[in-house]
Chain A
Amino acid sequence: MNSRLRQIAACVLALLGGLVFLFPLLWMLRSSLLPHDQVLRALTAWRQLLPWPPRWENYAEVFRRVAFARTLLVSLGFTGVIVVVGMVINAACAYAFARLRLPGGDLLFAVVAALIIIPFEALALPLFIMLGVHGGLMNSLPGLFLPYLAKAFNIFLIRQYFLSLPAELEEAARVEGASWFRIFFQVALPLAKPVLAACAVLDFMLHWSEYLWPLIMTNRPDFETIQLGLGHFYTLPPIQWGGIMAYSVMATLPMMLVFAFFQRYLVLSMATAGLKQ
């Protein structure tokens, strides 16, 4: 009985601790449901902590004032292509390094591994010159995702994983007469699901919150990612704090959803997380 009580007490304490830690996020949620003029008003009574009655109108207003849906699509397209297409490209390369004969493979891999430490920030300008100024890819999805498709770090990580797998399954497929391409897609790729999911979660988090590169590569308000959109909405007169907070909540939701679905891969991704930019 005593231990049960202690457990409940621990849960309550933890809940309180968590609430304090999450206070800024809860505050955001609260503010998103307040009338604009009350967001910055000092509290005078406890019951003002709860936004009652909730003003859902703030959310509708976001859609009315800016092309939020379009912004959402741009963000989803940008992250989606990187996560899905990039994953296949990187996994294929990782597989080749791990299992297949490649002329100069070891040297090539050493070069790829060395690329990991080059921070994206050091490449942003020349990439802008290449893609934005001369490539004519300003305000376009390819302009946003092209530099991120191939990632030395993901190649490194997935290769490590392939190396840790026994080769027996692939050999069995080989003896049965499967080509390497079929083996990669049908046998190896499904086996690598944990590491691919880990990379996907990390990449989604990274690019959903990406700021610098979209800031450089877009200059039209009708083509921007959700993070940039928030930055603009934040300064769009008249400043309406309730709406800004509603925008913030909506910008956060997709990441929360991904987190909820892929939570179990997260610890693995953390165990292997490396020099993500």
Chain B
Amino acid sequence: MAGIRLQDVGKEFGAHRALCDVSFSIANREFFVVVGPSGCGKSTLLRLLAGLEQVSRGRIFIGERLVNDIPPGRRNVAMVFQNYALFPPLTVFENMAFGLRIRRLPRREADEMVLRTARVLELDPLLQKRPAQLSGGQRQRVALGRAMVRQPEVFLYDEPLSNLDARLRSDMRSELLRLHKRARTTAVYVTHDQVEAMTLGDRICVIRDGVVQQVASAMDVYHRPVNLFVATFLGAPPMNVLPGRLESAGEHCRLLLDGGRILPLTLAGAAQAWRHCLNRPVSLGVRPEVMQPASAENAPLLQGAVEVAEVTGGECYVHFREGDARLVARMSVAHKPELGEGVSFSFPASGAHLFDEHGRRVEAQLAFVK
């Protein structure tokens, strides 16, 4: 059992910088999810951990062992690939036994290990089949089985569910969690799917253009995103962003939205955290699900005409425009407005996020002035 530690890891492919100064630690037995848009370097990160690529800079530790120069087969890691990577000429059994055969384990012992894993994954009836005869979901389980058989210290998952259809994907997701709880092994899971990231990860690492943005629990990443990128990347539909300018107004502050609307605010919390934003451009972030239709006790803060109303079963996402900003609000289907109808929304100040002119999160408690 082992944790993972990265120290200032960098990787370049020729002139292209894939990863830049990546440092973090993954605890033993943690399920660690790396998420980011395609081409952000998350797969490269996984391949560095596997040893399929060599770091250009920095150090990688698995357990207490520096693994920079250790070939993949000796790192005691297992990897599950996006396209399963099962060896076509081998049976399911031999696919799962592949790593054990290479390690020259006694045949009896190896067979026993394969059978035990197959039972856990309910693969017993498939053992003599070849990959081409299996369905996508079955192949996925075999790939998992091959990784589990060796009881490695670390599991590496490279978007393992992205080739499955939606239904199977959610089944496999819970299956993965079950297996992880059972095996109690460190896992690093790369995905571009935020639902997977939120549901699977003990902690989530968000990467953009080779730079780590935030490493935190799913709740923290969602509720306390460190910057605008993280804020808008996680969550669907994404967080609404209202650009504006923060001005001091005697006792409290006021936020001048670009559309001309003025929101009177008080900012609490350590003053040095937010004072530098005064009289500068800022952005206010509001998730669609915290928006509520304006009412007597909730004065309207944002309003506009409905451009699109998407119904997703019990809920409905209303797209409208306030000034130049295109905004989305979630509401119950029962209150679905007509196209072109005027709508007005309010939101609690505690549900809003403030970002400075560089898009960084401003740590302060917001409250509206009554």
B273 CB contacts on chain A under 8 angstroms: none
B73 touching A166 by the CB < 8 A rule? Answer: no
Q: Which residue of A172, A182, A187 contacts B79 across the interface (Cβ within 8 Å)?
A: A172
Interface size class of B (residues with CB under 8 A): 20 to 34
B81 touching A182 by the CB < 8 A rule? Answer: no
A176 touching B99 by the CB < 8 A rule? Answer: yes
Given A166-B83, A168-B82, A168-B83, A173–B98 Cβ distance below 8 Å? yes
Within the complex, what minimum Cβ distance (angstroms) separates B228 from chain A? 35
The DSSP consensus for interface residues of chain A is helix
B73 touching A176 by the CB < 8 A rule? Answer: yes
Residue of B nearest to A172 (CB): B85
A179 CB contacts on chain B under 8 angstroms: 73
Within the complex, what minimum Cβ distance (angstroms) separates A192 from chain B? 12
A173 touching B87 by the CB < 8 A rule? Answer: yes
A190 touching B89 by the CB < 8 A rule? Answer: yes
Most buried by B among A166, A168, A186, A190: A168
| Any B CB within 8 A of the CB of A169 | yes
| Any B CB within 8 A of the CB of A171 | yes
A178 touching B50 by the CB < 8 A rule? Answer: no
| Any A CB within 8 A of the CB of B181 | no
A175 touching B52 by the CB < 8 A rule? Answer: yes
Q: Which residue of A175, A182, A186, A191 contacts B72 across the interface (Cβ within 8 Å)?
A: A175
The contact string, 1 if C-beta is below 8 Å from chain A, for chain B 43-87, is 000010011100000000000000000011110011101110111
A175 touching B73 by the CB < 8 A rule? Answer: yes
Residue of A nearest to B158 (CB): A168
| Any B CB within 8 A of the CB of A174 | yes
Q: How many angstroms between the C-alpha atoms of A179 and B102 in the bound complex? A: 9
A176 touching B83 by the CB < 8 A rule? Answer: no
B83 touching A171 by the CB < 8 A rule? Answer: no
Residue of A nearest to B143 (CB): A172
A182 CB contacts on chain B under 8 angstroms: 102
A171 touching B102 by the CB < 8 A rule? Answer: no
| Any A CB within 8 A of the CB of B146 | yes
Given A171-B52, A171-B79, A172-B79, A177–B85 Cβ distance below 8 Å? no
B275 CB contacts on chain A under 8 angstroms: none
Q: How many angstroms between the C-alpha atoms of A257 and B81 in the bound complex? A: 42
Given A187-B87, A190-B89, A175–B102 Cβ distance below 8 Å? no
Q: How many angstroms between the C-alpha atoms of A178 and B100 in the bound complex? A: 10
Most buried by A among B81, B86, B156: B81
Q: Which residue of A177, A190, A191 contacts B73 across the interface (Cβ within 8 Å)?
A: A177
A191 CB contacts on chain B under 8 angstroms: 88
Within the complex, what minimum Cβ distance (angstroms) separates A105 from chain B? 15
B103 CB contacts on chain A under 8 angstroms: 177
Most buried by A among B83, B87, B88: B87
B81 CB contacts on chain A under 8 angstroms: 168, 171-172
A166 CB contacts on chain B under 8 angstroms: 83
Q: How many angstroms between the C-alpha atoms of A171 and B103 in the bound complex? A: 17
A190 CB contacts on chain B under 8 angstroms: 88-89
Q: How many angstroms between the C-alpha atoms of A175 and B150 in the bound complex? A: 11
Q: Which residue of A169, A173, A175 contacts B50 across the interface (Cβ within 8 Å)?
A: A175
A177 CB contacts on chain B under 8 angstroms: 72-74, 99, 102-103
Most buried by B among A172, A173, A186: A172
- Interface hits, A183-221 → B, CB 8 Å: 186-187, 190-191
Residue of A nearest to B90 (CB): A186
Q: How many angstroms between the C-alpha atoms of A175 and B74 in the bound complex? A: 8
- Interface hits, B153-170 → A, CB 8 Å: 156
B98 CB contacts on chain A under 8 angstroms: 173, 176, 178
Q: How many angstroms between the C-alpha atoms of A168 and B79 in the bound complex? A: 11
Within the complex, what minimum Cβ distance (angstroms) separates A15 from chain B? 38
A178 touching B73 by the CB < 8 A rule? Answer: yes
- Interface hits, A128-162 → B, CB 8 Å: none
Q: Which residue numbers of A lie inside 8 Å of B, CB to CB?
A: 166, 168-169, 171-179, 182, 186-187, 190-191
23 residue pairs from A and B, CB less than 8 Å apart: A166-B83, A168-B83, A168-B85, A171-B47, A171-B50, A171-B72, A171-B81, A172-B79, A172-B86, A172-B87, A173-B98, A174-B52, A174-B73, A175-B51, A175-B73, A176-B73, A176-B98, A176-B102, A176-B150, A177-B74, A177-B103, A182-B102, A191-B88
Q: Which residue numbers of B lie inside 8 Å of A, CB to CB?
A: 47, 50-52, 71-74, 77-79, 81-83, 85-89, 98-99, 102-103, 146, 150, 156
The 5 closest A-B pairs by CB, nearest first: A177-B73, A172-B85, A176-B99, A168-B85, A175-B79
Given A173-B87, A175-B77, A182-B102: 10 more A-B contacts, CB < 8 Å: A168-B81, A171-B72, A172-B87, A173-B98, A174-B72, A176-B78, A176-B150, A178-B98, A187-B87, A191-B88
